[in-house]
Structure formats: C-alpha cells, structure tokens
Structure 1
Amino acid sequence: MEIHITEHKSKGALKVPDYAVRVFVDRDYGYGYFVSEHALFEMLSAEQQAQYLASDDVKLDVSGDVAQRIIDIGQTPYRKRALFGALG
C-alpha cells in the first residue's frame, strides 16, 4: 500500500524537535494524516528509512498493517477511514 509523505518532512537527518508530517495513504489525496515524523520513521524498514531521508517528497510501499497504524495515530479534522484487508 502506498504512502506519500509531503509536508514538513526531514531530509538528510530527522529534525529535532519532532514535527508532524503529512501522510497520504493509499493514494487518497482528499486529505492526509498528520503523524509524528519520528513515529512514522520507526515503522519503516532500514531501506525505506534511507529512501525517506534522501528526498523532500517521497512515496513508499508499506504493508496494510503499517498503513492502518498511520491512520490510527494520525491527526485529521475528518472522520478516519478503516482499511479493508489491512492485515498483511
């Protein structure tokens, strides 16, 4: 499942203090979830972490479980959606 991280993300190294980054899940660009960058970074594999830090604007493929965790911890002014078949 694709996630797209756009706003406030770090490049090169994680920023301190921890900022919220905007994450779009499963190509749903109606709105994004604001998630702690450090929490998001910890959910990623080592390879994904390297990709994340290499660019200002990044798209990554993650498991349905990771995508659902992003939704669960993300802040949004809208009603949160649930992913069907998120496991795996």
Structure 2
Amino acid sequence: MQRSLFLRIVTDIENANPYFQQKRDAAGRLGFAALQKATAAIKMLAYGCSGDSIDEYLRMSESTTIQCLKKFCHTIVKIDHPP
C-alpha cells in the first residue's frame, strides 16, 4: 500500500471515530496512536494473522488488536456508506 493512501485512511478514521484518537490513560500515559491501531487492523486483514501475532510486532495485547480490527471495519463502512 502506498504511504499516502495509508495516511489518508488513518486521517479519515481518526476524524470519523474518536477511538482512533490518541488519549492518555488513568495513569497519564499516552495510549496507542491512530497509526498503530490502523497498522494492527490492516495487517490482520491483509495477512490473515491472529491478534496474538500483533503483540510481538506492535506490543499491543490480543484483545486490543481485535478491538482495533472491529472498530476499523465499522468505521470504514460508516465512512464509505453514510446513513
């Protein structure tokens, strides 16, 4: 995928869904950035890899990667097919 296309997708999902905006947790640490969440979702879709394999690549838990994938897919559908 071209870098410009990937960055456009990340910007679009970040604007469409607040889940993809980087926030601080209760301890004040920054959470995952939109780039990391989108990378996890796209890698799972493109290569059919499990959420567990993303842990080794992005240091993201399996449950977080699955949540990223679900929210990514719902957001893309919402962007491409508005009500």
Instruction: Say whether the fold is shared (TM-score over 0.5).
Output: no
In our comparison, the structure showing a higher alpha carbon Rg is 2
Question: Which TM-score applies when normalising by structure 2?
Answer: 0.26
More strand by share: 1
More helix by share: 2
The answer to which structure, 1 or 2, has the higher relative contact order (CA under 8 A, 6+ apart) is 1
